[in-house]
Amino acid sequence: MSPQPLDTLKGFGVTFRQIFQKPITQQYPEYKRPLYPRFRGRHRLWRHENGLEKCVGCSLCAAACPADCIRVVPAENTPDNRVSAGERYARIYEINLSRCIFCGYCELACPFDAITLEQEFEISEYSRDDLIYTKDMLLAEPIKRVPVADKELYDTPEPYWKEHS
């Protein structure tokens, strides 16, 4: 007797057995997979301890961006309006998140550690215009909705400036 009909029947047994095994699907909003510490999510602009912004509007990030999605318009820091810790500040700082490829080059290019990529990735919007993040939105604290993975599990250390800024 040829092996074929018996093999087909064994196949039926396989699919039948799978019904009683636990599915391997992870149900997303109830269970969120923890992210690795250097996960590249939404951007964030940082401030110093005394409240001055770190970003001086040098637009090295805009120059480094492969997708050309950062727009920086600098302005002079005047004595009565001192925004950043240098001679100039970024008057307009916008990132078009629909163009951004989340590569992290802006984070690497910034000499002042002013911009980093944090761990927020749930940034969907209903219209494309809402995806252009302005400076206030980027300065704001990202909402911590996603668990961060245990640092003990990852043997690659964090960059120096991430822990010391």
The distance of closest approach from Cβ of residue 25 to another protein in the complex, given in angstroms and rounded to an integer, is 5
CB of 151 to another protein, least distance (A): 32
The rounded distance, in Å, linking the Cα atoms of 132 and 98 is 7
- In this complex, which beta carbon is closest to another protein, that of residue 3 or of residue 51? 3
User: Strand ranges (DSSP E) for 9-163?
Assistant: 43-45, 70-76, 88-96, 115-117, 132-133
Q: Which of 15, 81, 124, 156 binds another protein (CB under 8 A)?
A: 15
Least Å distance, CB 18 to another protein, is 5
List the one residue from 6, 11, 68, 108 that touches another protein (CB under 8 A): 11
How far are the Cα atoms of 32, 74, 132, 148, 157 from residue 57, in angstroms, in the given order? 36, 5, 18, 31, 29
Please give the Cα distance from 1 to 48 (Å, whole number).
Answer: 80
Phi first, then psi, for residue 124 (nearest 5°) are -75, 150
Name the residue nearer to another protein (CB basis): 17 or 164: 17
- The answer to the question of residue 23 lying near another protein (CB under 8 A) is yes
4 lies in the site for another protein, by CB under 8 A: no
Which of 18/127 has CB closer to another protein?
A: 18
Here the tokens at position 43 are: 């951007």
Please give the residue ranges that form the binding site for another protein (CB under 8 A).
Answer: 8, 11-12, 14-16, 18-19, 21-25, 27
